[in-house]
Amino acid sequence: MLSTLEERVVNLKEFMWDMMQMLELVKGLTGTRVLNSTRNKLIERNDTLKAMVMALKEETMAMMMALSTIIEELEEELALCRAVVGVSCLQEWVEAMGQRELECGGFQELSKAMTVVEFIVKLGIGKDGLKSSNSKEKGQWWERP
């Protein structure tokens, strides 16, 4: 009977050992499941944030393009206004000088100045006002070479 009891104790110890190993395995699986679940949730949130950032980036790019177009239009309008004011002031100056020259007998100088003003007006006013297309290289039209 003692041997039978000893066998049962040994069997019970082996069973307990197997159960402890099984419990460790279950704990590990449960921990892995929790980690995997948390990882999956974080990946999902990351994907959502990436989509939001991309949408904001596209919206920002569209807004930047619209603002760039508006800025270009305003720059053109400003150049036009500057040119109109410049031509107007130049005409007033030429007329004032013309009166003075006529009084002093300088008809040829007046004629030259009026021709220059008429030529400028006939050229029209481009995108960059009275400047030539490569005004940085050649200098301004009113500067001496």
Question: What is the torsional sign of CA 81, 83, 86, 88?
Answer: negative
Residue 67 in any domain: the answer is yes
Tens digit of each residue's pLDDT (9 = 90 or more) over 102-123 = 566 566 666 777 777 777 777 7
**Maximum distance among all Cα pairs of the chain, rounded to whole angstroms:** 150
Q: Residue 58: inside a domain, yes or no? A: yes
Between CA 5 and CA 25 the distance in angstroms is 30
Token pair belonging to 1: 């009977």
Task: Please provide residue 129's backbone torsions phi and psi, each rounded to the nearest 5 degrees.
Answer: 75, -140
Residue segments in the chain with a per-residue pLDDT below the cut of 50: 126-127, 132-138, 144-145
Contact 128/83 with Cβ under 8 angstroms? no
Q: Is the residue at 60 inside a domain? A: yes
Residue 145 placed within a domain: no
Burial of 130 (0-12, 13-18, 19+ CB in 10 A): buried
User: Does 144 map to a domain?
Assistant: no
In a domain, 139, yes or no: no
Domain membership of residue 83 (yes or no) is yes
56-75: pLDDT as tens digits? 999 999 999 999 999 999 99
Look up the domain containing 35 and give its range. Answer: 2-133
Position 46 scores a pLDDT of: 94
What pLDDT is recorded for position 104?
62
Domain count, the chain: 1
CB 135, CB 83: distance < 8 Å: no
- Report yes or no on 48 lying in a domain: yes
